[in-house]
């Protein structure tokens, strides 16, 4: 265990876990008044650390099967439990048991999503993966909450209980669906499109920092969430099948490298 504690990628995974735990504390108001904005920002920080742990594993060549399993367990907290509690406290508490059931369904779908990832042998060359990743779903929740907290001026907005319930339903279904989503490694194959994407993202980031960073995050995430269903409808494209044959997969092969593509988890 000492070896795992001293493994650099696990430090970043641990940081992601702390962000998820602190987001829960802020969303529930255990320390005092509830702070949805800070809770949402902690989930976004967790996403950043989730991205970095794999990169650190590759740079230091310290990836391990232990780290992969640890990463999935932490993802369950940071992008499953924390967003579910945030959604319930922020916009569905008024629905009582009905809202609690929907928040639980979000967490449950996240666990199913992660279990599916752990069982499948991730093909790094796959252009599409089935379903929305839990990292993107949780980050979308966080960006929506932060944007609303910035502009809320009273009255019924998209924080209305039924609106939040529907948003949660859509994200939950997308996570466990077979709707095709592009991975970040294969989103654009040509080098010139990479450069164009980088330029567009840089411009969007500058605009977000200059005007409103919360809107920038939401503007980045919402189109990606919508891209899967749109591609499925317009091009009748399907993601690779991940059926019952996953039960016959050698788990050691599935978790061979901690730097599995985070965009498929």
Mean pLDDT of the chain: 79
pLDDT band, very low/low/confident/very high, at 251 (cuts 50, 70, 90)? very low
Integer CA distances (angstroms), 151 to 204, 215, 216, 223, in order: 19, 10, 14, 20
Q: What is the pLDDT of residues 50-61, one digit of tens each?
A: 988 888 888 888
- Confidence (pLDDT) at 64: 81
Q: Quick one: average pLDDT of 143-157?
A: 68
pLDDT band, very low/low/confident/very high, at 46 (cuts 50, 70, 90)? very high
- Confidence (pLDDT) at 186: 63
pLDDT band, very low/low/confident/very high, at 248 (cuts 50, 70, 90)? very low
- Confidence (pLDDT) at 152: 62
Q: What is the pLDDT of residues 18-28, one digit of tens each?
A: 999 999 999 99
Domains (range + CATH), the chain: 2-240 (1.20.120.1760)
- Confidence (pLDDT) at 240: 55
Q: Which residue spans within the chain are E strands per DSSP?
A: 128-130, 180-182
Q: What is the pLDDT of residues 173-209, one digit of tens each?
A: 999 998 888 776 666 565 655 665 676 677 667 666 6
What's the distance, Cα to Cα, between the start and end of the chain in Å? 25
- Give the total residue count for the chain: 265
């Amino acid at each position: 265990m000492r070896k795992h504690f001293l493994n650099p990628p696990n430090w970043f995974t641990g940081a992601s876990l702390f962000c998820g735990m602190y987001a829960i504390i802020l969303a529930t108001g255990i320390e005092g008044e509830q702070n949805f904005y800070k809770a949402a920002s902690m989930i976004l920080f967790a996403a950043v650390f989730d991205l970095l742990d794999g990169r650190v594993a590759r740079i230091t060549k310290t990836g391990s099967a232990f780290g992969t399993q640890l990463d999935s367990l932490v993802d369950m907290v940071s992008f499953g439990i924390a967003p579910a509690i945030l959604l319930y406290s922020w916009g569905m508490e008024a629905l009582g048991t009905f809202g609690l059931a929907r928040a639980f369904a979000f967490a449950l779908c996240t666990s199913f999503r992660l279990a599916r990832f752990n069982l499948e042998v991730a093909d790094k060359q796959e252009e599409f993966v089935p379903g929305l990743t839990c990292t993107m779903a949780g980050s979308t929740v966080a960006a929506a909450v932060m944007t609303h907290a910035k502009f809320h001026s009273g009255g019924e907005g998209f924080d209305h209980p039924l609106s939040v319930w529907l948003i949660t339903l859509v994200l939950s279904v997308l996570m466990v669906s077979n709707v095709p989503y592009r991975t970040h490694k294969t989103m654009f194959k040509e080098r010139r499109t990479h450069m164009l994407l980088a330029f567009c993202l840089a411009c969007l980031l500058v605009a977000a920092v200059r005007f409103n960073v919360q809107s920038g995050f939401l503007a980045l995430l919402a189109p990606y969430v919508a891209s899967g269903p749109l591609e499925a409808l317009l091009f009748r494209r399907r993601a690779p099948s991940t059926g019952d044959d996953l039960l016959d997969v050698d788990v050691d092969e599935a978790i061979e490298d901690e730097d599995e593509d985070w965009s498929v988890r």
